[in-house]
């Protein structure tokens, strides 16, 4: 980790900018390849993540890992993080003021990684990142381009675990991501 990452991790670890600091066990800043082409953003740490200090390590994380494998990639090649870095009690959704308080960290992660593609996992991530209020079922599967970055909203893995009929659409979204990744690689001649 270089200095910017160390400073960011340290700042998050000491953060008390919102009430989520009160009941966390560990902060969950994010992890992965600091030069990743692709970044995954979830909503916030759950129980397993809070205990381990790592994003997406519980049941949804295992499904996310399988989906990353389907892209022909390893978890270590991508960057994975969340809208809020501390666990909302009882896994409730982050409140708007909590997401707002935490936004600067996500922005710094974006600036450091400079991903070409961002996969938004679920409606909470989509709403906070794109300020988009439409249902995820309507937004998923279509690219949103903002300032040259490709955003793909898709279902959160925990939604897929609750309702396996959504998996078919999610795989379609991941196929589109894989294709875009290849296009981007070909364009840049790498
Ligand atoms: N759900 C999320 O949104 N993020 C995690 O890190 C784990 C579960
Ligand atoms: Fe700070 Fe974000 Fe944790 Fe709130 S959720 S205390 S803003 S790191």
DSSP-derived secondary structure for 89-142 = GGGPPPPHHHHHHHHHHHHHHHHHH--SEEEEESHHHHHHHH---S-HHHHTTS
Pocket perturbation via mutation, ligand 1, pick of 42, 48, 84 by most ligand atoms within 8 A of CB: 42
Task: Give the total number of structural domains in the chain.
Answer: 1
* Predicted local distance difference test score (pLDDT) of residue 189: 72
Give 114's contacts (C-beta < 8 A, 6+ positions apart): 35
Domain membership flag for residue 147:
yes
**CB-ligand 1 contact for 128 (6 Å cutoff):** no
Domain membership flag for residue 1:
no
Expressed in percent and rounded to 5, the helix, strand and coil fractions of the chain are 50, 15, 35
**CB-ligand 1 contact for 56 (6 Å cutoff):** yes
**CB-ligand 2 contact for 86 (6 Å cutoff):** yes
At 149, which CATH number? 3.40.470.10
Distances (CA, A) of 177 to 72, 85, 149, 185: 11, 25, 13, 12
CB-neighbour burial class of residue 40 (10 A; exposed 0-12, middle 13-18, buried 19+): buried
Q: How far is the centre of ligand 2, averaged over its atoms, from the C-alpha of 128 (Å)?
A: 15
Q: How far is the centre of ligand 1, averaged over its atoms, from the C-alpha of 186 (Å)?
A: 32
**Between 189 and 91, where is the model more confident?**
91
* Predicted local distance difference test score (pLDDT) of residue 2: 83
**CB-ligand 2 contact for 18 (6 Å cutoff):** yes
Write the pLDDT tens digit of every residue in 145-190: 999 999 999 999 999 999 999 999 999 999 999 999 999 989 887 5
Domain membership flag for residue 50:
yes
Q: How far is the centre of ligand 1, averaged over its atoms, from the C-alpha of 187 (Å)?
A: 32
Domain membership flag for residue 97:
yes
Q: How far apart are CA 11 and CA 19, in angstroms?
A: 16
Half-sphere exposure of 187 (CA within 13 A, CB side): 7
Give 58's contacts (C-beta < 8 A, 6+ positions apart): 46, 47, 48, 49
Range of the domain at 140: 17-188
pTM above 0.75, yes or no: yes
Half-sphere exposure of 44 (CA within 13 A, CB side): 25
* Predicted local distance difference test score (pLDDT) of residue 76: 96
Write the pLDDT tens digit of every residue in 18-50: 999 999 999 999 999 999 999 999 999 999 999
**CB-ligand 1 contact for 30 (6 Å cutoff):** no
Please give the average per-residue pLDDT across 138-150, as a whole number. 97
Domain membership flag for residue 2:
no
Q: How far is the centre of ligand 2, averaged over its atoms, from the C-alpha of 53 (Å)?
A: 13
């Amino acid at each position: 980790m270089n200095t910017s990452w160390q400073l960011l991790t340290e700042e998050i670890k000491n953060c008390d900018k919102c009430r989520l600091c009160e009941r966390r066990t560990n902060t969950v800043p994010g992890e992965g390849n600091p030069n990743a082409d692709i970044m995954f953003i979830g909503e916030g740490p759950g129980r397993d993540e809070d205990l381990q200090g790592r994003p997406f390590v519980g049941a949804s994380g295992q499904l996310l890992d399988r989906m990353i494998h389907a892209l022909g990639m390893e978890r270590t090649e991508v960057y994975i993080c969340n809208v809020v870095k501390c666990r909302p009690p009882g896994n409730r959704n982050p409140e708007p003021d909590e997401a707002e308080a935490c936004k600067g960290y996500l922005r710094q992660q974006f600036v450091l990684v400079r991903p070409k593609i961002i996969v938004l996992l679920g409606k909470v991530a989509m709403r906070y990142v794109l300020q988009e209020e439409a249902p995820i079922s309507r937004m998923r599967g279509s690219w949103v381009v903002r300032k040259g970055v490709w955003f793909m909203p898709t279902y959160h893995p925990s939604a897929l675990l609750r309702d396996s009929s959504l998996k078919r659409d999610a795989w379609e979204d991941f196929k589109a991501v894989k294709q875009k990744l290849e296009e981007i690689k070909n364009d840049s001649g790498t």
